Structure 1
Amino acid sequence: MARLDLGFPGAAVDIPPFDHENAGLDEAATLNARFSNLSSREIVERALFDLFPGRIALVSSFGAESAVLLHVVASVDRTVPVVFIDTQRLFPETLAYRDTLIDRLGLTNVRTVAPDPAALAEKDRYKALWMTDADQCCHIRKTEPLTRALAGFDAWFTGRKRFQAATRAEIQFFELDGARIKVNPLVSWSSAELKSYLAEQDLPRHPLVAQGYPSIGCQPCTSKVKPGEDERAGRWRGLDKTECGIHLGESDGSGI
């Protein structure tokens, strides 16, 4: 049971642990009501040590802004499981950046997950599925691998922020996602705050950011962003698509 220090000698009260197993459908709302006044680091600490000890992973794309959340979590616990989905269509720079951040942050439990070879052979043998059915391509290369990777976890950290897209404008610190809880520690951060944090902590930037890619996914479905465009305008350009599916409840429990 955690202890809350009220700020003067002898004044501390016990805080009962949150009962994830019996919280039910109102769990996310309860967590937001209880913890929404905390800082991003405090949210991470509560999730790791009080709410889901040993049962939470961080899912990271190792993309343009990923270093921020990875740094916040690593500053609390470098052994947290980090799930990285190698869709096998990523930029080489992303794979190199992953290795750079693992070394820089001292991450000790990064788990790289790949698509099922049988599914690729059946549905995307020629690596052209993204041209005819982008949603299905995301499903077999991202959503399904993540579903497998999250087996055994009750919750997972994401790096989503409200400013990124209209579909993310209302997200909270905690969200119910099937049988799991998504924890979004950076939900209220602005683009300027992210850049300031990266500079203050002297964190390496994804090499493609300087080349005009402020949001980075798979190589075929990511393009440069023109001045004045939304930062995610280069994702699935020309398609009526803004999410890969792992944040739309399409995994059983996914993006990043």
Structure 2
Amino acid sequence: MRREAIFDPAEAQVAALNATLSDAAPETVLAHVLADFAGRIALVSSFGAESVVLLHMISRIDRALPVLFLDTELLFPETLAYQYEVAQALGLTGVRMVRPDAAELAAADPQGLLHRDDPDACCALRKTRPLEAALGGYGAWITGRKQHQTGARSGLSLFELDAGGRVKVNPLLNWSGQDVRHYVDAHALPRHPLVGRGYPSIGCAPCTSPVAPGESPRAGRWRGRDKEECGIHFIDGRAVRRAGAA
């Protein structure tokens, strides 16, 4: 006997959004989802090398939108200073610091050296679990992921479902590094100070190194390890995307 397909309204919603907005400009996508998910959507931002683009777009639509900033407590001092600078420059009033649980941190990584032996466990402790807890009250979130960044991201869709059934929005999925630079220049936006020192992709200080000319922009992330994602967008080594959400 043939099983009937189970109708998933969340997947149907994502499919409809992809069909409707697949060719829309990022600003149009953002305005649409901020209206559709009013009060139930946040931007997750690392305040890294390219983050200022989405932050600027958001500032022109809703400066009070929740912006979840993951402070792993292993970030570069420059990133923390840049976060404050950008928030002030753009008038963002909804920035919320998301930190790892202090008790978990003391139990699992009391010396702050877990990243040396088990970077996946460190990312789970300092990023994945804290973000999952912070997203608990939201129905959708916005990311700055782009298709060109890694092989795993090449199949990104504009709208996806995460493992918790929340809608994940990737407004810049088709943008190149050159597109980002042009936007930053056109709007005279502040740049992360480490970009000019050879860091085109910036994560935690112990796991990020400068990139040499000709290397991939993300070559400095977890250099020497078979790892290219922190885990926020992956579960069990697979992209957090549910079938049918493309």
Q: Which residue of 1 aligns with 2:71?
A: 86
Aligned residues: 229
Which of 102, 105, 108 aligns to 2:93? It is 108
The Cα of 1:141 is off from its aligned counterpart by: 0.2
In structure 2, distance between residues paired with 1:113 and 1:54: 18
Amino acid at match of 1:132: D
Q: Which residue of 1 aligns with 2:156?
A: 171
**1:27–1:176 Cα contact (<8 Å) kept:** no
Aligned pair 1:129/2:84, yes or no?
Answer: no
Q: Structure 2 matches for 1:10-49, cutoff 5 A?
A: 23-49=9-35
The Cα of 1:29 is off from its aligned counterpart by: 2.3
Aligned pair 1:67/2:52, yes or no?
Answer: yes
In structure 2, distance between residues paired with 1:223 and 1:26: 42
The Cα of 1:54 is off from its aligned counterpart by: 1.0
The Cα of 1:170 is off from its aligned counterpart by: 1.0
Instruction: Give the SS at the match of 1:148.
Output: helix
Q: Provide closer, same or farther for how the CA distance between residues 174 and 208 of structure 1 changes in structure 2, counting only shifts above 3 A.
A: same
Aligned pair 1:183/2:169, yes or no?
Answer: yes
Amino acid at match of 1:119: E
Amino acid at match of 2:113: A
Measured against aligned partners, the alpha-carbon deviations of 1:22-65 in whole angstroms (never above 9, x if no partner) come to 7233332221112112110000000001x211100000000000
Measured against aligned partners, the alpha-carbon deviations of 1:144-197 in whole angstroms (never above 9, x if no partner) come to 110111111000000011111111111011011021011011111111010000
Which of 165, 169, 187 aligns to 1:201? It is 187
Structure 1: 5+ residue runs without aligned partners? 1-21
Instruction: Give the SS at the match of 1:150.
Output: helix
In structure 1, distance between residues paired with 2:55 and 2:121: 29
In structure 2, distance between residues paired with 1:24 and 1:159: 22
Which of 58, 76, 84 aligns to 1:99? It is 84
Which of 177, 199, 203 aligns to 1:213? It is 199
TM-score calculated relative to the size of structure 1: 0.87
Aligned pair 1:57/2:51, yes or no?
Answer: no
The Cα of 1:139 is off from its aligned counterpart by: 0.3
Q: Which residue of 2 aligns with 1:245?
A: 231
Amino acid at match of 1:84: F
Measured against aligned partners, the alpha-carbon deviations of 1:195-246 in whole angstroms (never above 9, x if no partner) come to 0000000001000000000000000000000100000000000111000000
Amino acid at match of 1:196: H
State, as a whole percentage, how many aligned pairs show the same letter: 53
Instruction: Give the SS at the match of 1:101.
Output: helix
Aligned pair 1:222/2:208, yes or no?
Answer: yes
In structure 1, distance between residues paired with 2:193 and 2:60: 23
In structure 1, distance between residues paired with 2:18 and 2:234: 20
Amino acid at match of 2:205: Q
In structure 2, distance between residues paired with 1:169 and 1:249: 17
Which of 121, 137, 140 aligns to 1:155? It is 140
Instruction: Give the SS at the match of 1:112.
Output: strand
In structure 2, distance between residues paired with 1:75 and 1:24: 28
In structure 2, distance between residues paired with 1:182 and 1:145: 17
Amino acid at match of 1:232: R
Amino acid at match of 1:85: L
In structure 2, distance between residues paired with 1:120 and 1:161: 31
In structure 2, distance between residues paired with 1:205 and 1:41: 20
TM-score calculated relative to the size of structure 2: 0.91
